[in-house]
């Protein structure tokens, strides 16, 4: 079907436009006059206006995708969906709330009203295409959604109830200077403390099973002249044994390379380091207990290293 044919066959016109949403200027370019467009958008007409200069070529209640398409047509060609709508596009069960949040380049025209919030930014995200829409990455979308969510409980539900990894949220927060992230930071801090506390309780039970004396928890180690060696989860000062199980950073476990680098620094200083992957604390407890017991015996047979333990 050609465009000229579509002008004559208005019933098939919606097929020419994504989600049946068109700009008035596009309809005029196809040969429809302004008065004819206005007449079809009148009450009981077959079309309806969704926004200034944007027409839904249907009289049915607009779907969520059609409202999104209308917002993008208003905001311009470089707009990207973020916030709650982007989370929905990523597959999260997030209901709409307030204006559709879009990101536009700082050189574009911003907008903030009841239907569309086009936020100008110098930090445009790498665009992902989800369900046919330009979409911000999930972590960026979640942070933007939380910025515009007034309820701390709702922020908690967004941050903890979906598939976005906590490490990705932390990275996004570290790179943003946007306002309105205080509630999200508090929620993540609460989660961090809670996971840390639970992990420490489990680790303490393994120390007890190994028959070892209680260690100091969450300790920073340095040389006597305060050269940083690393932060460890447990430290037996009397023998110079360090145990690291990522309890102090549960949302971002150390990479293999970082673990090896820290272990090398500690070993060079005379410390006996033990690293346990967090999953093994839960799933391989007998082996972890044996490793701790053996490492403690080894450390006890060696001179105590010249390192200083500080509160982590």
DSSP letter assigned to residue 12: G
Domain hosting 208: range is 202-311
DSSP 163: S
- pLDDT recorded at residue 118: 94
- Burial class for 228, CB neighbours closer than 10 Å (0-12, 13-18, 19+): exposed
> pLDDT per residue over 12-58, tens digit each?
888 899 999 999 999 999 999 999 999 999 999 999 999 889 999 99
Closest to 85 in 3D by CA, of 157, 19, 133: 133
Task: Say whether both 254 and 270 belong to one domain.
Answer: yes
Same domain, 147 and 235: no
- Is the same domain home to 70 and 162? yes
Q: Supply the pLDDT for residue 234.
A: 94
Give the β-pairing of 272-275 and 241-244: parallel
- Does residue 84 lie in a domain region? yes
Q: Kindly list the distances between the CA atom of residue 204 and the CA atoms of 108, 172, 198, 279, in Å, as whole numbers in the listed order.
A: 56, 33, 10, 15
* Residue carrying structure tokens 């206005």: 38
Q: Place 144 in a pLDDT band, splitting at 50, 70 and 90.
A: very high
Determine, yes or no, domain membership for 174.
yes
In a domain, 197, yes or no: no
* Residue 195: inside a domain: no
pLDDT at 7: 44
Better-predicted residue by pLDDT, 251 or 50:
50
For residue 137, how many other CB atoms are within 10 A of its CB? 18
- For residue 190, being part of any structural domain is answered with no
The label of the residue with tokens 């994504």 reads: 18
Q: Is position 12 within any domain?
A: yes
Residue 46 and residue 100 in one domain: no
Buried-exposed string 14-32: b where 16+ CB fall within 10 A, e elsewhere: bebbebbbbbbebbeeeeb
Instruction: Return the closest-CA partner of residue 74 out of 40, 48, 94, 100.
Output: 100
pLDDT of residue 198: 75
Alpha helices in the chain (DSSP H): 3-8, 24-29, 34-40, 64-75, 83-89, 138-147, 152-160, 166-175, 182-209, 256-268, 278-283, 285-300
Q: Same structural domain for residues 256 and 231?
A: yes
Indicate which CATH number applies to the domain containing 246: 3.40.960
Q: What is the total count of domains within the chain?
A: 3
Q: Are residues 24 and 76 in the same domain?
A: no
Shared domain for 81 and 101, answered yes or no, is: yes
Q: What is the CATH number of the domain that holds 90?
A: 3.30.460
Specify whether 219 is located in the same domain as 246. yes
pLDDT band (50, 70, 90) for residue 250: low
Q: Characterize the bridge pairing of strands 100-105 and 80-81.
A: antiparallel
- Both 206 and 304 in one domain: the answer is yes
Mean pLDDT along residues 271-283:
89
Q: Is 175 within the bounds of a domain?
A: yes
Q: Of 60, 85, 107, which residue sits at a domain end?
A: 60
Q: Using an 8 Å Cβ cutoff, are 68 and 100 in contact? A: yes
Q: Tell me, yes or no, whether 35 and 78 share the same domain.
A: no
Q: Which residue has the higher pLDDT, 140 or 157?
A: 140
Pairing of strands 241-244, 133-135: unpaired
The neighbour count for residue 205, using CB atoms within 10 Å, is 13
Is 186 part of any domain? no
**Residues 223 and 236 both lie in one domain:** yes
Q: 66: number of CA atoms within 13 Å, CB side? A: 21
Clarify whether residues 209 and 226 are in a common domain.
yes
């Amino acid at each position: 079907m050609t465009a000229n044919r579509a002008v004559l066959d208005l019933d098939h016109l919606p097929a020419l436009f994504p989600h049946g949403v068109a700009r008035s200027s596009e309809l005029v370019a196809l040969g429809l006059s302004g008065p004819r467009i206005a007449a079809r958008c009148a009450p009981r007409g077959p079309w309806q206006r969704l926004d200034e200069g944007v027409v839904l070529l249907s009289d049915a209640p607009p779907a969520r995708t059609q409202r999104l398409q209308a917002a993008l047509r208003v905001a311009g060609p470089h707009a990207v969906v973020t916030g709650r709508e982007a989370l929905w596009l990523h597959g999260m069960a997030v209901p709409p709330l307030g204006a559709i949040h879009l990101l536009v380049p700082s050189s574009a025209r911003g907008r903030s009203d009841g239907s569309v919030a086009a936020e100008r930014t110098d930090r445009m995200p790498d665009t992902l295409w989800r369900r046919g829409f330009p979409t911000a990455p999930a972590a960026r979308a979640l942070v933007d959604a939380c910025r515009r969510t007034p309820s701390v409980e709702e922020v908690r539900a967004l941050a903890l109830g979906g598939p976005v990894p906590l490490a990705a949220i932390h990275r996004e927060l570290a790179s943003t200077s946007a306002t309105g992230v205080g509630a999200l930071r508090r929620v993540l801090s609460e989660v961090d403390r809670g996971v840390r506390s639970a992990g420490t309780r489990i680790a303490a039970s393994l120390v007890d099973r190994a028959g070892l004396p209680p260690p100091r928890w969450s300790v920073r180690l340095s040389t006597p002249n305060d050269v940083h060696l690393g932060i460890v989860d447990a430290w037996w000062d009397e023998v110079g044994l360090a145990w690291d199980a990522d309890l102090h950073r549960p949302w971002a476990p150390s990479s293999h390379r970082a673990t090896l680098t820290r272990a090398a620094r500690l070993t060079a200083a005379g410390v006996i380091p033990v690293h346990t992957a967090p999953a093994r604390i839960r799933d391989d407890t007998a082996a972890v207990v044996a490793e701790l017991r053996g490492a403690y015996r080894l450390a006890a047979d060696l001179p105590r290293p010249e390192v200083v333990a500080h509160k982590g």
